[in-house]
Amino acid sequence: MFLTIDWIHLLTLIAINCVAALGYYVTLSSGQLSIGHGALLALGGYCAGVATLNADLPAIFYLAAGFIAAAVPGYLLALVTLRLRDLYFAVATFGFGGALVELIGHMDVFNGHFGLGGIAMFTSLPLALGVLAVTTLVVWRWDHSLNYQLAAVTRLDQEVALVLGVDVRQLRRATFALGAGIVGVAGALYAGSTTIVTPRDGSFEVSLSLLLMVVIGGTRSWRGPVLGAVIWTLLPELLRFASTWRLVLFGAVAILLMAIRPEGIVGRALPACRPSNWPREQSQALSRNR
């Protein structure tokens, strides 16, 4: 069984999914449950693919194209949906994702519903691992920053965050744009590894997969999305011996993991530190919402 697996391709896919999951984790850290990140991933792949067809450039430029292509509409979407929360926000992002995928399917520059083919294969395993290392470092720094604490308070109780003087609107815009940009980079890597991108790569199933990677791994630490992406990508391959039953077994394992660890495999409490310029009563409010 193990000899039949293309490990180079599988490890590359794992690295790409880890990057995408880390991007979704950044957006989710401020309480924004998005179901449109799959469309942003596809958009990043499409724009990187168009760039490869029009210019022979180093891979960093294609990755930058994917980041910008996803971060800009992500920021604009967050700007438009600032007043929405929870399920209403999720429904809005679901509608955005569906509309974006449909728009891509009608654009000649992206070859419509047939998908964009002929993309240069610029993604290699070392490149994917290198991008994952840089992304992990960025998200690790985010995880240990004051902004993460503010985002965590915003996720738990937005009213408390406002009382503490947190600029919730700016924080939500920034986390959504940064998370979307990282997902766009994953889309560029994916396009460079498969040489083709289709509207299906931005479907609801892709957005749901990103959500489940983070939820299964854990939503309170950068380690959670990485572990969740590894499990989500590797487990179906390891269950190939079960043939037609492998997806059933995969679903059963996912349900078992969520039953045992509903908060995700990797947990984390909100750090106890606080900004030095916060009054004592504000730090007490922060502690009560940990």
Range 157-165 average pLDDT: 81
CA distances, 280 to each of 276, 284, 287, 290 (Å): 10, 6, 11, 16
CB-based contacts of 4, cutoff 8 Å, min separation 6: 240
10: pLDDT strictly greater than 50: yes
Can you give the pLDDT at residue 255? 80
Nearest to 148 by CA among 288, 267, 264, 273: 273
72: pLDDT strictly greater than 60: yes
283: pLDDT strictly greater than 70: no
Kindly report the CATH number that applies to the domain delimited by 2-288.
Answer: 1.10.3470
Can you give the pLDDT at residue 242? 62
% of the chain surpassing 70 pLDDT: 87
Angle of the 168-194 helix axis to the 125-143 helix axis, nearest 10: 170
Q: Give alpha helix (H) positions in the chain.
A: 7-28, 37-54, 59-80, 86-104, 125-143, 146-156, 158-163, 168-194, 204-217, 223-238, 246-260, 280-288
Give yes or no for a contact between 22 and 218, defined as CB atoms under 8 angstroms apart.
Answer: no
Amino acid occupying residue 127: L
**Phi, psi of 202, rounded to the nearest 5 degrees:** -115, 20
DSSP 104: H
40: pLDDT strictly greater than 90: yes
CB-based contacts of 271, cutoff 8 Å, min separation 6: 144, 149
Which sequence spans correspond to the domains of the chain? 2-288
Give yes or no for a contact between 128 and 193, defined as CB atoms under 8 angstroms apart.
Answer: yes
CA gap 23, 149 in Å, rounded: 17
Give yes or no for a contact between 49 and 116, defined as CB atoms under 8 angstroms apart.
Answer: yes
Can you give the pLDDT at residue 4? 61
Can you give the pLDDT at residue 290? 45
237: pLDDT strictly greater than 80: no
Range 201-227 average pLDDT: 90
CA gap 90, 35 in Å, rounded: 6
| 43-57, 88-102, 191-205, 233-247: segment of lowest average pLDDT | 233-247
